[in-house]
Structure 1
């Protein structure tokens, strides 16, 4: 590769990556959260769009004429950006995995937009200048409008071939769960704390239940409705100040400003003389400007946790 091609290739990758890193650091300053915020549409959608447009702007026009090039090349600086933020501990693996699909799609859209203006041979510098400055103007407006706080419900169930009393004893109090018994594939992939045990001081309204997870995560639960061997509802409270900083990414902390679990309910339904259906559902809320996307992840994470617990309770009840 000759010197000119090397410089051109570096521009295509380095310039968009550098721009993304500058915005990441700017939007990550905690004292500027009222103006610039990572948990915003501006950062999640506009940034990768601009990355895509920049990569095409610095590309050779002959290559830009190829549609596949305009769609795929923007992915290179996106991956470079995430690699740098990961190795320097700027961003955590779970966050990267969650926002990667958005960044890839939006960067391709940016590549198509950049290609449109590049092929028209207009004054690309004007369009580029406006595009790169857009996040600095849009983010304050988005923050001024504020985020939506929306409630959601995660519902799961499992059928168990065991007597009601055996099932219920494993519902109210969950004995210690070994790592081998933990089958929560999504939470394990995202390196979320795994469930350890649940303790209940007595059976009835007003009882205190503690659901303990690894790495210091504890759900403080208060029973609000109790019908023996039929139903147990409880409020759920996670206290962020109890959770060590290394346990979860700051943007994913349960009980934090973006994601909180409100309450849960177990219901035991009789299907046949030997089979019962154990229902478990929880209510949680999200407070972001992109709940339409965040809710998909949050709902699947909650279902993964619940299905994992239900599977353990089934195995133990049937084994007893």
Structure 2
């Protein structure tokens, strides 16, 4: 074996090793790299034989890096990230300018999609692929360049571009409002209320803001997406707290009404989160600049 090959283990073995080091599991590593658990185990064994050194301690189905493995993983992970980044840059140059962006479902449907014709008009050579994702994940592992995030600027290993904060308003069907004699905030106590998965405390905070803290804890059905919540409210299932910018069509048509002026605001906000190497991606820089222009009136 010549000196060059001696110090360059097989790429498949290195990739499997890094995935197993990250997840502490050969089965979860296999899901990431597209191999079976046994195939990942074989690749790691090949690497350990190549190095003539063990890298993991085995605890049943769990694997934990030993000191040698920890030191090796740190260097190999950085090297693979650099290879992946360099490869992506070359492929973008040869395949055209394309981005993969994850978005919160309701945000994508009601705020982002209607604005895409303007993006196309400004950058006709830019292709943006969108996928619905509701919870934070590793952008690089997921194959995404960026994502729409709501909350605090706490997405790991990412750059945050502030977009805007939201105003949540109470909405219900007009017939439901009249049938339940809802005229002031206290009238909602004990009435059917609807919740959204990631805003389960919204009703508590809204009641507190109205000076109604000594009341029974509000309860009701929970919906994952705001547009499902809006449809349930429009059908007369109860009252809901929904960001105003997501339900403009329903408010304009009268399908939903806001019985009170009291709204709910907090410090959480929408962000465009981007991989930490985003500034080297010209397409992502252009998308970032474009979406920033769209938030000025929100």
Fold-level similarity (TM above 0.5): no
The structure with the largest helix share of the pair is 1
TM-score (norm 2): 0.29
TM-score (norm 1): 0.28
